[in-house]
Amino acid sequence: MSGTTVFWYASRATGIVALLLLTAVLVLGILVNRQGRLPGLPRFAVTDLHRNLSLVAVAFIAVHVFTAVLDTYVHIPLLSAVVPFASGYERLWLGLGAISLDMMIAMILTSLLRGRMNRVLWRAIHLLAYASWPVAFVHSIGSSKDLQQGWMLDMAIGCAVIVAAAVVWRLAHAARQVPRAGRVAAVFAQHTATTSRATTSRATASKQARRNRESVTR
């Protein structure tokens, strides 16, 4: 491998790995419930896993961008990494990559400032993570000939299928849950039912104890 091709290979390799990591981050975010938990895992483990995967994905994206800029085969200005459609080479596909990167940067910065931001605003910006994946996916398919054929194409299709399956599962799970407006009534009804069962159990136990005493007296 010559010095003129090392950046070319590095850019494409890190781009593929970044796509896999972003898929894992997105799927994990979709599957996590409102309490930030996954079946069989405590909340802190899910949070650590999601954060660490995100950091590793960002690291690979950074290497992907810088190696693409350093590659001398084509001229890609560094500014085009964050300014959409600023590159003369593969303007559309690289522009989509810049849009996806900008979304991720906004998500990261707002996550760091979460304690100082309005919760509604933070959540609205954080949802950009869901929009950044399909944009990054289209960028990857369009800009990389490797992902347009062979086993790499199968891998890309597999990522899309996994994300679609996770979305369907989350929607089905949400449909089975009690709507937010009805949660108070549902909790109250559950509490009433539990109290009623407890009262009935105590009454039954009291009657049985009384019968036992009467039988002993006789």
Structure tokens at 107: 């998500």
What's the pTM value of the predicted model, to 2 decimals?
A: 0.72
Amino acid at 161: V
Query: Angle at the Cα of 54 (from 180 to 7), degrees rounded to 5?
Result: 150
The average confidence (pLDDT) of the chain is: 78
Q: What are the pLDDT digits (tens) for 54-108?
A: 889 889 999 999 998 888 777 888 888 888 888 888 888 898 999 988 888 888 7
For the ranges 15-24, 34-43, 84-93, 182-191, the one whose mean pLDDT is highest: 15-24
Specify the higher pLDDT residue, 68 or 177.
Answer: 68
54: helix, strand or coil: helix
Q: Is the dihedral of CA 141, 99, 17, 27 positive or negative?
A: negative
Residue 145 to residues 36, 63, 175, Cα–Cα distance (Å): 38, 19, 40
Q: What are the pLDDT digits (tens) for 101-157?
A: 888 888 878 877 777 878 888 778 777 777 889 999 999 998 888 888 889 899 999
Torsions phi, psi of 41, nearest 5? -125, 135
Count CA atoms closer than 13 A to 138's CA, side-chain side: 13
